[in-house]
């Protein structure tokens, strides 16, 4: 286990994710929620460069769970925080499906 229980990476500096959502604000929001929940020493939220999965953004990755999210919207952040970061349950409907073109489009899921 590393320094943190949970390490969240938000793609903020690739070519496409920053054009698909306000990813800088995503980082601020998640950091704020972690601080309010007293998790600053347990959960780290970092800005990240491109994950080489461009076009599926905005994207986030959560370690050590190795859970990748795609097509994340600002309105999804509270659910990701509460369900996954607080309670360890990934948000299934936002999981990255790399075989599908576009932001995480699984038939019948959105
Ligand atoms: S720009 Fe986010 S994965 Fe490439």
The rounded Å distance from CA 105 to ligand 1 centre is: 16
User: Does ligand 1 come within 6 angstroms of the Cβ of 54?
Assistant: yes
CATH number at residue 66: 3.40.30.10
| Any domain includes 85 | yes
Question: For the segment 73-102, what is each residue's pLDDT rounded down to a tens digit?
Answer: 999 999 999 999 999 999 999 999 877 655
pTM: 0.89
Q: Closest by alpha carbon to 91, among 63, 106, 69?
A: 69
The rounded Å distance from CA 103 to ligand 1 centre is: 11
Among protein residues, the one whose CA lies closest to atom 1 of ligand 1: 14
For the chain, how many structural domains are there in total? Answer: 1
User: Does ligand 1 come within 6 angstroms of the Cβ of 14?
Assistant: yes
| Mean model confidence pLDDT for the chain | 91
| Any domain includes 61 | yes
Give the structural domain span for 38. 6-94
């Amino acid at each position: 286990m590393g320094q943190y229980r949970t390490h969240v990476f938000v793609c903020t500096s690739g070519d496409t994710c920053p054009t698909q959502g306000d990813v800088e604000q995503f980082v601020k929001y998640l950091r704020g929620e972690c601080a309010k929940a007293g998790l600053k020493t347990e959960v780290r939220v970092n800005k990240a460069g491109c994950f080489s999965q461009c076009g599926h953004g905005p994207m986030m990755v959560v370690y050590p769970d190795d859970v990748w999210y795609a097509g994340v919207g600002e309105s999804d952040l509270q659910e990701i925080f509460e369900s996954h970061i607080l309670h360890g349950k990934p948000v299934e409907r936002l999981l990255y499906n790399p075989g599908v073109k576009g932001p995480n489009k699984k038939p019948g899921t959105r």
